[in-house]
Amino acid sequence: MRLSTLCMFTLITLLLASGCAQRPGIKDSTTTEDGRFRVTWWQTPPRPIEANSYFELFVEVEDLTDDEEPYDLRFDATMPAHRHGMNMVASPTRFTRDSWVVRDLLLHMPGEWVMTFDVTDQNGVLHRASETVILD
């Protein structure tokens, strides 16, 4: 494990354990299309995301209806105008009950990207949240 990743894990663990209402570095938050889950993510440097530069995301998923533990998370990013996605498959790693880290992400060219967060609940139902980012 890289030292920077270990430092990030330690910092996030301390923040989550302390119950901080204001967590520094919150990048963004959105809800799934059906309103069931809130997906919040923090991004490691570089900030903002730069084209063709590796980055990581720490993702937290909150059940807004039943306080149920999410079963799984998948991440992807696509460029609708070019009809393609990333050159690699993202592999989120579970960090806590409701959080994941997604490493070695690369949006390889400038333009509009749609990041998708697919949350699977305990019944196998997929809930999608998405966010558009524009890279210069």
CB 72 within 8 A of CB 124: no
CB 55 within 8 A of CB 45: yes
pLDDT of 12 above 80: no
- Of the CA atoms within 13 Å of residue 134, those in its CB half-sphere come to 1
- State how far the Cα of 5 lies from the Cα of 104, in Å rounded to an integer: 11
Question: Per DSSP, what are the bridge partners of residue 59?
Answer: 41, 100
Q: pTM of the full predicted structure?
A: 0.79
Q: Which of the two residues, 48 and 98, has the higher pLDDT score?
A: 98
**How remote is the C-alpha of 135 from its chain's centroid?**
17
Give CA separation, 8 vs 13, 19, 37, 103, in Å. Answer: 8, 17, 24, 12
pLDDT of 21 above 70: no
CB 54 within 8 A of CB 105: yes
φ and ψ of 52, to 5 deg: 60, 30
Q: Which of the two residues, 44 and 133, has the higher pLDDT score?
A: 133
How confident is the model over 112-127, as a mean pLDDT? 96
CB 92 within 8 A of CB 59: yes
Domains in the chain (CATH in brackets) are 29-135 (2.60.40.2480)
pLDDT of 16 above 50: no
Q: What percent of the chain shows pLDDT beyond 70?
A: 79
pLDDT at 4 (0 to 100): 52
pLDDT of 109 above 50: yes
Q: Please give the biggest Cα pair distance in the chain.
A: 43
pLDDT of 114 above 90: yes
pLDDT at 24 (0 to 100): 41
pLDDT tens per residue across span 42-59: 877 667 788 998 989 999
pLDDT of 11 above 90: no
DSSP state of 8: H
Tokens of 20: 């901080």
pLDDT averaged over the chain? 83
